[in-house]
Amino acid sequence: MSQNTILAVGSMAFDTVQTPAGKAEQVLGGSVNYFSVAASFFAPIRVVGVVGTDFPQAHLKWLSEKRIDVSGVQVAEGKTFHWVGSYDGNLNEAKTHATDLNVFEHFNPKLHDSHKNSPYVFLANIDPVLQQQVLDQVETPRLVALDSMNFWIQGKLGELKKTLARVDILSVNEGEARQLSGEKSLIRAAEAIRKMGPSVVIIKRGEYGAALFTSRGAFLAPAFLVEQVVDPTGAGDSFAGAFMGYLAANGAHRDMAQQDPQKWEVLLRRAVLNGCVMASFTVEDFSLHRLMRLASSELTVRQNALMQMIAV
């Protein structure tokens, strides 16, 4: 096992999406799909999820060719999780029309013995009870990050807070940060969330980029502007994949905050910028289509361009 391997647990799905740019039906989606593909540009990934018998084996094969270990993907009898949503003029907010959990309804993340010693863990947007079950199985991870959403904040706040007390990093959007903290100010919201457990809070701001909050203050990263946003679905998960992938590739870990706080802060800020760059590719097409044809050279060009944008 590589010292920078990431274990990612979350949903693998089919999406049907309507945006001002068009419509895509039954295309690949799911939080862990977006996360793992984005993260694979930086570090090796292990995926734990569940799909139905209708899920294309060709996709699992393609994932395995990108440093993504899919041995933890369960194939259950039935249909794969299916989400139906749309975006109107406000591309920062999806409207959900249908959520067919299918085999995902009974998802029970059981880790292989070889997965339990993963140094980096990312808990994608799933039931916080399941997130805790994953944490109960991993041994001594160096860094744990978590994503969540308004559904769990509203419906399982108590369980979510138990999970937050066990993680290092939380990634949520502006509305979720305010809902979780009860604060309107993003600074106060982040401060309140950090008191719940995670020392690092990332607030995703869609077309405005992302905000990083640590004990040393706030860092605002701009989004990389693209000519046309086709489909924002998965942008946040892609952001998280590049963010976590960059940290893993550079050996970042929770103790670094005390051992070398300046290096820790620099790595976090650069990870956020890499997340913004990856998200900018995701939104340029439906599903994972843009990430599937993304070349490392393209990623490097855009990374350098964003760095030049923020240079003084």
Mean pLDDT value across residues 259-281: 97
Top-confidence residue, 92 or 249: 249
Do 35 and 63 form a contact (C-beta atoms < 8 A)?
Answer: no
Look up the CATH number of the domain holding residue 131. 3.40.1190.20
Residue 1 lies in a domain: no
CA dist., res. 48 & res. 95, Å (int): 27
| 95: β partners | 86
Residue 146 lies in a domain: yes
Q: Which pLDDT score, from 0 to 100, does residue 6 have?
A: 98
Residue 236 lies in a domain: yes
Residue 264 lies in a domain: yes
Q: Give the largest CA-CA distance in the chain.
A: 56
pLDDT digits (tens, 9 = 90+) for 206-224: 889 999 999 999 999 999 9
Q: Which pLDDT score, from 0 to 100, does residue 92 have?
A: 81
- Classify residue 54 by its DSSP letter: T
Mean of the per-residue pLDDT values of the chain: 95
Residue 210 lies in a domain: yes
Residue 197: Cβ within 10 Å count: 16
pLDDT digits (tens, 9 = 90+) for 186-204: 999 999 999 999 999 999 9
Whether the predicted pLDDT of 67 surpasses 90? no
pTM: 0.95
| 106: β partners | none
CA dist., res. 59 & res. 29, Å (int): 11
CA dist., res. 174 & res. 192, Å (int): 14
CA dist., res. 300 & res. 21, Å (int): 27
Do 215 and 257 form a contact (C-beta atoms < 8 A)?
Answer: yes
Whether the predicted pLDDT of 1 surpasses 80? no
Q: Is the dihedral of CA 4, 213, 137, 253 positive or negative?
A: positive
> How many folded domains does the chain comprise?
1
Quick one: which of 59, 44, 49, 87 has its CA closest to 241? Answer: 44
Cβ neighbourhood burial of 93 (10 Å; 0-12, 13-18, 19+): exposed
Residue 84 lies in a domain: yes
pLDDT digits (tens, 9 = 90+) for 31-60: 999 999 999 999 999 999 999 999 999 999
By DSSP bridging, strand 200-204 and strand 210-214 are antiparallel
Residue 149 binned pLDDT confidence (cut-offs 50, 70, 90): confident
CA dist., res. 201 & res. 114, Å (int): 30
Query: Cα dist. 166→109, 128, 198, 307 in Å?
Result: 18, 11, 8, 33
Domain with 157, as residue range(s), is: 6-310
Residue 170 lies in a domain: yes
Residue 255 lies in a domain: yes
